[in-house]
Amino acid sequence: MSGLPRFSHPRLLVGSDTHDDAGVYQLTDDMALIQTVDFFTPMVDDPYLFGCIAAANALSDVYAMGGTPLTALNLAAFPACADKGLFGRILQGGAAKLTEAGALLLGGHTIEDAEPKYGLAVTGLAHPDQIITNSGACEGDLLFLTKPLGVGILTTAIKAGLLTEEQLQPVLHSMAALNHSASAVMVECGIKGGTDITGFGLLGHLHELAEGSGLRAELWAELVPIWPQAVELAIQDVAPGGAYRNLKYLRGKARFAPQIAEHQRLILADPQTSGGLLMAVPKERAGMVEGKLETAGVDYAIIGKMRAGSGIDVLPS
């Protein structure tokens, strides 16, 4: 986005400067519009499941901002020669997730392309005072994470034929799960700092949260939830190119304690598709957030803390 003009306006609450999940435009005193778009190539063979995951991922950016998704538009690319039934299954998966989210599909646009792609532009609403951003974390806040890491490593292993989709049902189920309930808890508890974990991996998104809030993040690596199969694969250096690129970007930004092994660093930087929410929770509200997440049936872990300073310190615990 460098080289583009900077857009600013009194009603533009969140633009592109802070690398937030979505843009936010204030409509009235108590209504703000949230807009985001996400699309990508399939990471699983099952077309319906791919549609579900792509939609859950696109909706997640509205949830990460503390919003409620209202409407969505499909963005799709599909090879001319390919089976139209497959394409239909992708769109059906996406539509099912929108229905689950209570959002309406208004239409979309499809082009021909050699490699299939699918995703959505999603529009949501939130109260302007309840927007959750990368700049909203405070010193002392505890970091909560709601989905295990390792999705990029595991889908790379599927593509390499090292694992089958059948062996990864719980992982794929988690990727297709909406961040709806976790988002509702953030809003109910008045959380101000947070994001979702996607292409930059936990460390990349945590860095944006720390930088946006003018703070340092302390990450407790042993407490970070990880899909068990991903650990073995990371030890064997099975990881997507994005994990290595993320680690390279984080050089000088993330400081690793010597006990943090190479494969752990890879997992912490592994790009996630439709990852969980990362929330910065004020200490005095941690108990309330834990109780509400448990009631809502959302798995979570407390994985670190925001402190004064800058960058990320990755400690064992």
Enumerate binding residues for Co ion (CB under 5 A): 21, 38, 61, 109, 196, 198
Q: How far is the CB of 55 from Co ion (least distance, A)?
A: 12
Cβ 167 to Co ion, closest distance in Å? Answer: 28
For Co ion, the closer of residues 61 and 270 by Cβ is: 61
Each residue of 236-272: b (16+ CB within 10 Å) or e? eebbbebbebbbebbeeebebeeebeebbbbbbbbbb
Q: Which residue is nearest to Co ion (CB)?
A: 21
Cβ nearer to Co ion, comparing 93 with 119:
119
What is the nearest approach in angstroms of Co ion to the Cβ of residue 20?
Answer: 8
Q: Is 84 exposed, middle or buried, given 0-12, 13-18 or 19+ CB atoms closer than 10 A? A: exposed
Residue 214, by phi and psi: left (phi above 0), alpha (psi -120 to 50) or beta? left
CB of 105 or CB of 288, closer to Co ion: 105
Smallest distance from the beta carbon of 141 to Co ion, in angstroms?
Answer: 19
Residue number with CB closer to Co ion (109 or 255): 109
Nearer to Co ion, 201 or 304 (CB): 201
Q: What are phi and psi of 296, to 5 degrees?
A: -80, -5
CB of 48 vs Co ion, minimal distance in Å = 22
Distinct helix (H) and strand (E) counts, the chain = 10, 13
Write phi, then psi, for 239 (nearest 5 degrees): -160, 150
- Taking the C-alpha atoms of residue 217 and residue 82, their distance in angstroms, rounded to an integer, is 47
